Amino acid sequence: MKKTILRITMPLLLILFFSCKEDPKNEEKETAVKSAASENYNISILIDLSDRISLKKNPNPTMEIYQRDLGYIKSVSEAFTQHLKPKRMRQIDDKMQIFFNPEPENSQINSISKKLRITVNKDNASRELLNSINSTYSSKTSKIYESAIKDDKYIGSDIWNFFDSKIQDQCIDKDYRNILVILTDGYMFYEGTQIKDGNLSSYLTPLLIKKNGLNTNHWQKKFEKGNFGFIKINKDLSNLEVLVLGINPSKNNPFEEKVIKAYWSKWLSEMNIKHFEIKNADLPSNMDKIIKDFILEKE
């Protein structure tokens, strides 16, 4: 009789045991989701307010450059709020800010940019604040571009100097996931920072690319053999991720895009930045998923 009972109950017990046991894959997924939700973000947006946004010099019939920038910023702020909303209020300690280098002479632009330095933590976090971030960023960044275009005083873009002297203090915080989004056409030029060291430089222009002979089918071989690129900055930025948006190469050289990306890739890699992407100027609707994937899906 006992053997009969055992034969009946043992399979039932085994089924019950395995059905109650949690799937390790599900556990891993839950852990990953919890980890991502509890991670604190420090997002910086560096805007190149050079003449690339000029309606006179660089008109774009499909969509003006500044309008594309505004669309990219909208996607960044939406990714930021998407990251915040699933978090518990006591876990929130996240930041987002905007930078320029050099700072514009227009006091209105600088005043607006200060208001876009947002810190959300357990002391001020509320649904009202989270729901207001996207509209705030949209309206205020629009005013920045309108003021810059109206002034029509474009003093250039000193991205190299920003990395050399400011990025460590302004864009990197310990115990945060530090992300820098750069809005630029890929070129760099500022009157006050023109440094050359052999074939290395702190700037990049269409004229320099042509002068260096990087406008032929053999550009890559020459680039590598001649050690062309940006001057190396001796910093370890391994705790920074970089997304470069808006690469807009001159149409006079069919290899310009590849040369620009080679300069940037070499430079970022030399600073130990392991997670970076360099994307061409495109319509914001096409870039939205790319931007949000970069910010929300850590590799």
What pLDDT is attached to residue 34? 41
Residue 60 has φ and ψ, to the nearest 5°, of -135, 105
Report pLDDT digits (tens) over 232-272: 999 999 999 999 999 999 999 999 999 999 999 999 999 99
What pLDDT is attached to residue 157? 87
Query: pLDDT-based confidence at 158, cuts 50/70/90?
Result: very high
Percent of residues, the chain, with pLDDT higher than 70 = 87
What pLDDT is attached to residue 105? 86
What pLDDT is attached to residue 156? 85
Which neighbouring-strand residues pair with 183? 47, 245
What's the CA gap between 273 and 269, in Å, rounded? 5
Report pLDDT digits (tens) over 169-193: 999 999 999 999 999 999 999 999 9
Q: Is the pLDDT of residue 38 over 90?
A: no
Q: Is the pLDDT of residue 168 over 50?
A: yes
Distances from the Cα of 22 to the Cαs of 17, 82, 226, in angstroms? 10, 29, 58
- Residue whose tokens read 């203090």: 169
Angle between helices 65-84 and 127-151 (to 10 degrees): 160
Q: Is the pLDDT of residue 2 over 60?
A: no
What pLDDT is attached to residue 21? 47
Mean pLDDT of 273-297: 97
Report pLDDT digits (tens) over 194-208: 999 999 999 999 999
What pLDDT is attached to residue 298? 59
Distances from the Cα of 223 to the Cαs of 141, 165, 234, 259, 264, in angstroms? 37, 27, 21, 8, 13
* 172 contacts 97 by C-beta, under 8 angstroms: no
Mean pLDDT of 66-72: 98
What's the CA gap between 237 and 248, in Å, rounded? 26
What pLDDT is attached to residue 155? 84
Residue-averaged pLDDT of the chain: 89
**b/e code 151-186 from CB counts within 10 Å (16+ = b):** eeebbbbbbbbbbbeebeeebbeeebbbbbbbbbbb
Contact partners, residue 116, CB within 8 Å, separation at least 6: 96, 97, 98, 136, 137, 140, 141
Percent of residues, the chain, with pLDDT higher than 90 = 80
Angle, alpha carbons 194-228-157 (nearest 5°): 35
Q: Tell me the CA end-to-end span of the chain in Å, nearest whole number.
A: 60
DSSP 8-state class, residue 231 = P
- Domains of the chain: which residue ranges? 38-296
Question: Which of the following CATH numbers is that of domain 38-296: 2.40.50, 3.40.50, 3.30.390, 1.20.50?
Answer: 3.40.50
Q: Is the pLDDT of residue 148 over 90?
A: yes
What pLDDT is attached to residue 227? 97
User: Does 26 or 213 have the greater pLDDT score?
Assistant: 213
